[in-house]
Amino acid sequence: MIIHEGYENLNLISPVVTLGIFDGVHLGHRSLLHSLVSRAKEAGTVSAVITFHPHPRLVLQKHTAGLSFLSTMDEKKALLDEAGIDHMIIIEFTHGFSKMKACDFVEEVLLKKIRTRHLIVGHDHHFGYQGKGNFETINNCALSMGFRVEQVEGLKNEDVPISSSAIRNALLNGKPDHANNMLGYTYSLKGQVVEGKKIGREIGFPTANIKPGDQYKLIPCDGVYAVEIQIYKSRFTGMLSIGKNPTINKSKAPRSIEVNIFNFDKDIYGKDIEVAFRYRIRDEKKFNSTEELIRQMEIDKAMTTDLLT
């Protein structure tokens, strides 16, 4: 896949195009992308995905605290490449760009700059100033400009439309397996192993404390998870805790992400790590003693081993 920063001097010849944020590049997105790739092959041309950076909500919303997304730009690039896309066009999203009307975008960018011959959009797609560009608007613009617009239906999971919002909600409500069913892959978080209090080692469950690599990457809700870990290009299983460790921390503490990697005892401080969320085992809980916590962690480990083998 060829990645373009902006749309100047592209020299694409009549590409088949789609556009959107594609947060998570989930199964619904990939159904659309499959249509895109198929139409491009049928027409003997190339497929192109237009996306925007930074995320429009980060530009347009006054308050961005609490905003989180399913995929970083690097993850999105990898997923689109995996889907067989020929060209990815990243447009810088600014306040000025946000004021461009839908038909102006169609004419000035899609037609003149990218030379689109066929545009594919999702069932609920909106773009242009104040989101006023929908399928009907785009189609009316296209008819006067001589190119084709196609709308594809969305996918459903258990009769619920697959969407980035539904997946975010599943992760924030402790349902990673449900989120993974809609994503079509296992949701993961990448970061760096940083120094912790080393209390886990003292009680027989050493943990790697993870600092996420992207401040807007969604962190699932607090609790204990069965996870798969990738480090040193090898995969391991383990259990991960998200929360404030109320049994250990007697006073208020910041939220932390700690993973106990099974059958692993190497020093990995400062190393990059990736954890994939398979199942949520339980809520975070304050135990009456360290001994009670240890007994529960032994149960958690046995459950995790059963779930991941």
Q: What is the pLDDT of residues 13-60, one digit of tens each?
A: 999 999 999 999 999 999 999 999 999 999 999 999 999 999 999 998
pLDDT given at position 8: 92
Q: How many helices (H) and strands (E) does the chain have?
A: 10, 14
pLDDT given at position 80: 98
- 220 in the same domain as 139: no
116 within a domain of the structure (yes/no):
yes
Mean pLDDT of 50-73: 91
37 within a domain of the structure (yes/no):
yes
- 226 in the same domain as 121: no
The beta-strand segments (E) located in 247-291 are 256-261, 272-282
- 140 in the same domain as 23: yes
pLDDT given at position 196: 75
- 137 in the same domain as 55: yes
Mean pLDDT of 95-109: 87
Number of domains in the chain: 2
Q: Which of 105-114, 125-134, 145-154 has the highest mean pLDDT?
A: 105-114
- 109 in the same domain as 196: no
pLDDT at 130 over 60: no
pLDDT at 166 over 90: yes
Contact 27, 93 (CB under 8 A): no
Ramachandran angles phi, psi of 292, nearest 5°:
-65, -40
171 within a domain of the structure (yes/no):
no
pLDDT given at position 248: 74
Tell me which of 173 and 253 has the higher pLDDT. Answer: 173
* pLDDT bucket at 298, cuts 50 / 70 / 90: very high
The CATH number of whichever domain residue 56 belongs to comes to 3.40.50.620
180 within a domain of the structure (yes/no):
no
Tell me which of 235 and 232 has the higher pLDDT. Answer: 235
- Structure-token pair, residue 57: 């909500």
Euclidean distance between CA atoms 11 and 215, whole angstroms? 35
174 within a domain of the structure (yes/no):
no
- 279 in the same domain as 151: no
Contact 52, 22 (CB under 8 A): no
- 240 in the same domain as 114: no
- 149 in the same domain as 6: yes
Summary mean pLDDT of the chain: 90
pLDDT at 173 over 70: yes
pLDDT given at position 46: 97
- 145 in the same domain as 94: yes
Contact 251, 301 (CB under 8 A): no
- 210 in the same domain as 64: no
169 within a domain of the structure (yes/no):
no
22 within a domain of the structure (yes/no):
yes
Least confidently predicted of 124-128, 137-141, 216-220: 124-128
The beta-strand segments (E) located in 159-212 are 160-161, 188-194, 208-212
How many CB atoms are closer than 10 A to CB 100? 16
Mean pLDDT of 141-151: 79
pLDDT given at position 128: 53
Tell me which of 124 and 111 has the higher pLDDT. Answer: 111
pLDDT at 71 over 90: yes
Domain that holds residue 105: 2-160
- 114 in the same domain as 254: no
The CATH number of whichever domain residue 208 belongs to comes to 2.40.30.30
165 within a domain of the structure (yes/no):
no
pLDDT given at position 140: 76
- 152 in the same domain as 6: yes
Q: 96, 125, 160 — which closes off a domain?
A: 160
Contact 67, 44 (CB under 8 A): no
